[in-house]
Structure 1
């Protein structure tokens, strides 16, 4: 499959117009003002994840004055509905008090209005993650807030909405609940009520000596690229794998498994090539994958449960014979089966404390033996496939695209559905030198489109 991408960096100018403090429409009752974090929240870092949604302008208006007037009207609608939404997500308008508590004091969240002379089509013709980072709130704007939003007007009348939420109490499923509530309140429809109590009830907070939710960042320069796996190419990849794989029962690999295995294999190959003579033996590698526990427990946890109701399982390759796509897929399937059968249900026992501590000890043991610098390569993956990311309509149409910008750590893979629902869009973040080799890998290029234009 032919691929070409200049990955042009548009150095756009984003002008901040206003920063509005939005508070819940109703004050939080005194008995709810001390919100207890769950055990899994405790272990999550207090860093912001972000998602940006791009909304095209479908009005046949080419007048800048009308664009701005329309933008201001939309902004007021969003601010009003956000205030109502925060009354149901009141911890997000509070402040982190200590390791186990959020003080729900209704101090509010920042809603930032911005505009740019760039058009949406310029951004989406060749999406560049350095450019897309411009749409995020700055570090100074974040201060100690748990939630921030940026609403941006393009010169063509299109808009972008960026949601920046702390991982301390939010997993991806919680983001979806928040957006579902916010959009339905905005459009005047019935909205789902979030469940704020179930996470801490299932996973009570505990004292964990020596544990912190910090994230280790690297001084190395890293970069993110976007890859599209079309449905037909995924089916070809599945067929090739099924013809090679041997399993004890009829095995049908998922599209996430086959796409992830190919990315992992090619990324590891790039890492080994870059390190060259620095290592004397094969690089071991571990792939961590986040699992939504809501659907993996019996009885299932409500989808509306707010908080970090996720836990990772991991897959390892220890020798060169393991670095084949069919072998990697087989290991992934065995890994998730083992997790579901032997760990997921146990999270309900004593709030999951025992299984959490066992998992943390296992992780320490796996990471042992990495005395030779660079002899172990770790990757982390989140799959957002099947989440309705392009369905969130505030009253002026659905987004044409959404993305998440990772500016914190390297060696990450994020997967989401393509617009037609059958393919997979992958955001891969690697060290710059490794990315140069990764995006030229012939096996990868047979199956992917490298950063194709997003049609409005």
Structure 2
């Protein structure tokens, strides 16, 4: 009964109180020649949302008080923004193609949470994470929730530092997807953490300001009215190795033998197969986000900030194409095709050609038929290296509504597996959680 009442408490109450609001500006002004940062084609084409990542830290004796911690965070953020100068600028709210790097600063909020950290992590649901983020800037509702609706521009970066009753902290950061992908946000968090530990450390993010692009492609509408929920599933490396063995055996038996499938590939197949298979088979498709920074023949630095991802599409038109041999072979083939791209200009042309060939319309039709899926992997991105001087985080995750039929893969805290965030329609989630194949490897 006590557990039930606690869960009801989390689901029905506002757990946070904002105790302060501030604007953190760069400690040094941005040079005149860097005042306008032009977005790339990839930036322009992504949805105009905010990416939300939160990291949790237990209470330590490193600082005498919460106030001292936040003072250090503000100071180090100010220093970090001199290198991440577009993050401290202003972005047009509608159809942005550039950032005005005017040093107006990033929003910084402090909040008090009516819960201990352990209670929150053990007894809350994914939806409770939204309270930890500034201004409700979590994915699809970002611009609707932005605190100043009268302003035609928005701050690309917002931070909320949350203090729990036990002294533990949650650092929640929302970054406009228009100026950076998940890799960019995680690199920023790690750089900010390094500066907090040592103000003299060197950080060198790589920004590429593109020629002004005039691109007008309709986006895919993903704001359906269906009630969706997100739940977390953890797969140990031992279970993933068992899954690899099963996949290899199945591929040999089907005459579509594959060798050396990765953890991410086999887990993507399992999640997709089980989600699509909740009902009788229907043609469907999945988009996988692929980081192209290092895969091109002329790669760009790994510390490049922006949206340097393209979609790998795999369609399953019949049950044979749902077999792991075919499915994973298609992923590998399309990854090899990306590796043949010469440079960013070639990658842009490749992507525009795909969009011109009606792929947006095809994707919209799949989405409308509830047959469009998405998978993004943040494994090996350094999520659990974000150490502000209080030790590494005990938990890092994404907040908000991820989008219907979406899977997000992340390393576990101990590095011994993969955590999958799965967002499905509520009635589908109930069946997915009890799926025997999911349970066998989870």
TM bin (shorter chain): 0.7 to 0.9
2:182 pairs with 1:176:
no
Q: Which has the higher contact order (CA 8 A, sep 6+)?
A: 1
**Equivalent position to 1:38, from 33, 37, 40:** 40
2:122 pairs with 1:125:
yes
1:192 touches 1:304 (CA, 8 Å); kept in 2?
Answer: no
Q: Distance in 2 between matches of 1:73 and 1:206?
A: 44
Q: Distance in 2 between matches of 1:361 and 1:241?
A: 35
Q: Which runs of 5+ in 1 are unaligned?
A: 61-66, 274-281, 449-456
Q: Distance in 2 between matches of 1:108 and 1:212?
A: 31
The structural deviation recorded for 1:366 is 7.5
1:386 touches 1:417 (CA, 8 Å); kept in 2?
Answer: yes
Q: Which runs of 5+ in 2 are unaligned?
A: 136-144
Aligned residues: 418
Q: Which residue matches 2:213?
A: 206
**Equivalent position to 1:49, from 48, 51, 55:** 51
Q: Which residue matches 2:205?
A: 194
Q: Secondary structure at the match of 2:48?
A: coil
Q: Which residue matches 2:138?
A: none
Q: Distance in 2 between matches of 1:319 and 1:397?
A: 49
Q: Which residue matches 1:267?
A: 275
2:110 pairs with 1:113:
yes
Q: Distance in 1 between matches of 2:219 and 2:236?
A: 37
Normalised TM-score (structure 1): 0.85
The structural deviation recorded for 1:141 is 3.4
2:298 touches 2:343 (CA, 8 Å); kept in 1?
Answer: no
Q: Distance in 2 between matches of 1:7 and 1:362?
A: 52
The structural deviation recorded for 1:8 is 4.0
Comparing 322-331 and 87-96, the one that deviates more? 322-331
**Equivalent position to 1:72, from 47, 50, 67:** 67
CA deviation digits over 1:184-206, x for unaligned, max 9?
A: 11111523211112xx45xx442
Q: Distance in 2 between matches of 1:7 and 1:291?
A: 40
Q: Secondary structure at the match of 1:113?
A: strand
1:56 touches 1:158 (CA, 8 Å); kept in 2?
Answer: yes
When residues 284 and 32 of structure 1 are mapped into structure 2, their CA distance, relative to the original with a 3 A threshold, is same
CA deviation digits over 1:219-263, x for unaligned, max 9?
A: 111000000001111011101111121488861000001111000
Q: Distance in 1 between matches of 2:336 and 2:58?
A: 42
Q: Which residue matches 1:94?
A: 89
2:285 touches 2:366 (CA, 8 Å); kept in 1?
Answer: no
Q: Which residue matches 1:348?
A: 345
**Equivalent position to 2:436, from 439, 442, 447:** 442
Q: Which residue matches 2:29?
A: 27
**Equivalent position to 1:409, from 392, 396, 403:** 403
Q: Secondary structure at the match of 1:335?
A: helix
Normalised TM-score (structure 2): 0.88
The structural deviation recorded for 1:423 is 0.8
1:28 touches 1:106 (CA, 8 Å); kept in 2?
Answer: yes
1:42 touches 1:205 (CA, 8 Å); kept in 2?
Answer: no
